[in-house]
Amino acid sequence: MSSTKPPMRDALVAAAFQLFVERGYEQTTVDDIVALAGVGRRSFFRYFPSKEDVVFPDHERCLTDMTAFLAASHPGCEPLERVCEAARLVLRMYTDNPSFSVQRYRLTKQVPGLRAYELSVVWRYERAFAEYLRRRLSGRTDGTLQADVIAAAVVAAHNNALRSWLRSDGQGEAVERLDHALGYVQSSFGTSAAPTEDVVVLVSRRGAPLWRVVQEIESAIGRD
Amino acid sequence: MSSTKPPMRDALVAAAFQLFVERGYEQTTVDDIVALAGVGRRSFFRYFPSKEDVVFPDHERCLTDMTAFLAASHPGCEPLERVCEAARLVLRMYTDNPSFSVQRYRLTKQVPGLRAYELSVVWRYERAFAEYLRRRLSGRTDGTLQADVIAAAVVAAHNNALRSWLRSDGQGEAVERLDHALGYVQSSFGTSAAPTEDVVVLVSRRGAPLWRVVQEIESAIGRD
């Protein structure tokens, strides 16, 4: 993937993180970064609107990729499953470069300005999920509400899995943690995949006559 | 409630909003605000750390009240129901002053810096909900995951109801919209109140022999 990125951009990110770790984020200026990378100030601002942006160099591309992925969805696909797939794409941006992701996690926890920046990025992912779900659920009563709630739940599950992986210094299987977390969201919103094929769920009022309950089961499991 | 607030603080908020609406947020300085309110600069900064803070004058108090409300919960109360009650407290801050809330909503949509500020406030509410739920669900496998996901869902439901009320210029019943939205969250996470008393849910594999299914029902509904 790094082959598609200009080497100067990579050099600026590497120089910035070396200085952030050595001196701290606040104590590092754009001038320090360009001096270490051996380029001019204008080169920095060609790639990054501000010092904050160099901390999250891949989010714009990832947001673009993820939005395109959702836009290219087959109309027949299960919407929540598709959003979970999109969340896996976002996770991959972190797992592609574990040591960088762990360094940034530590930095972001220390610098309130970066924390605010990260919240605005997370909010954009959530909006992209919600907008896709709003389109797909537009035929439902409360489609907008459901879209917003499900999008927030997927983002929270993703962030829970991501943080637990980052806190363990990028050790262990991030994808498995995410799948587990998304499984909880899918079971909560009633659209989990395979198991429904095999299971009959019968809901009956306590007062229903037994013969009617048995009839319902027989019809559900296809006997007569 | 305004009786507990110093009048100078109220005067500063009123002057600030008058100017934000007349001139725009960016074009208004703290000097303009204090001049209109007839007080000195130091009075402004005694109440508000920055110009952004005057836009959200009640959030700190509301966060404090809401956190205290959760901390004072009876250990036997249903955790999700308690968090929904806390979300109703937050909504009340907006509905106590509809015209102010609608004005601020329009302002926040126009000014990216205020949008970022608001996201950081929303994140603090979500963390307060999640921390309470983490404590209450700490005995469960995946308690932390569930707490994070449910907190995000409650916040999304709250914000969906709030935005729909604000977009209708503060007309209609905000509390009813919120109750409806929270009802969706409660039904998704399986802890809605009364109905569970009355209903038997039976889950069986499709291949199970019918006599065993009947036996399970009989035992569940208390017949023999």
Q: What is the C-alpha separation between B184 and A76, in angstroms, rounded?
A: 25
Q: Note the ipTM here.
A: 0.81
- Look at residues A41, A49, A39 and name the one whose alpha carbon lies nearest to residue A7: A39
Q: What is the C-alpha separation between A144 and A134, in angstroms, rounded?
A: 5
- The length of chain A, given as a count of residues: 224
| Segments of chain A with pLDDT less than 50 | 1-2, 192-199, 224
Mutation choice for A interface testing from B50, B204, B223 by most A CBs within 10 A: B204
pTM (predicted TM-score)? 0.81
From residue B138, alpha-carbon distances to B106, B131, B144 in Å are: 40, 10, 7
Q: pLDDT by residue for chain B (224 residues), tens digit each?
A: 445 566 899 999 999 999 998 999 999 999 999 999 999 999 999 999 999 999 999 999 999 999 999 999 999 999 999 999 999 999 999 999 999 999 999 999 989 889 988 999 999 999 999 999 999 999 999 999 999 999 999 999 999 999 999 999 988 899 999 999 999 999 999 754 433 334 455 556 666 667 666 666 666 555 54
pLDDT of residue B113: 85
Distance from CA of A170 to the nearest CA of B (A): 18
Q: What is the radius of gyration, based on Cα positions, of chain A?
A: 23
Residue A62 Cα to chain centre, angstroms = 10
How crowded is residue B80: how many other Cβ atoms within 10 Å of its Cβ?
A: 25
A203 - beta bridge partners?
Answer: B201
Distance from CA of A41 to the nearest CA of B (A): 25
Q: Report pLDDT digits (tens) over B23-60.
A: 999 999 999 999 999 999 999 999 999 999 999 999 99
Residue with tokens 């990579």: A10
Q: Supply the angle between the helices A174-188 and A79-95 in degrees, to the nearest 10.
A: 160
Distance from CA of A193 to the nearest CA of B (A): 16
Residues A148/B156, Cβ–Cβ less than 8 Å: yes
Helix (H) and strand (E) counts in chain B: 11, 1
Distance from CA of B124 to the nearest CA of A (A): 11
Chain A CB contacts of B160 below 8 Å? 144-145, 148-149
Whether residue B202 and residue A201 make contact (CB cut-off 8 A), yes or no, is: yes
Whether residue B181 and residue A116 make contact (CB cut-off 8 A), yes or no, is: no
Chain B CB contacts of A127 below 8 Å? none
Chain A CB contacts of B142 below 8 Å? 180, 184
Q: In chain B, which among 106-125 make CB contacts under 8 A with chain A?
A: 115-116, 119-120, 123
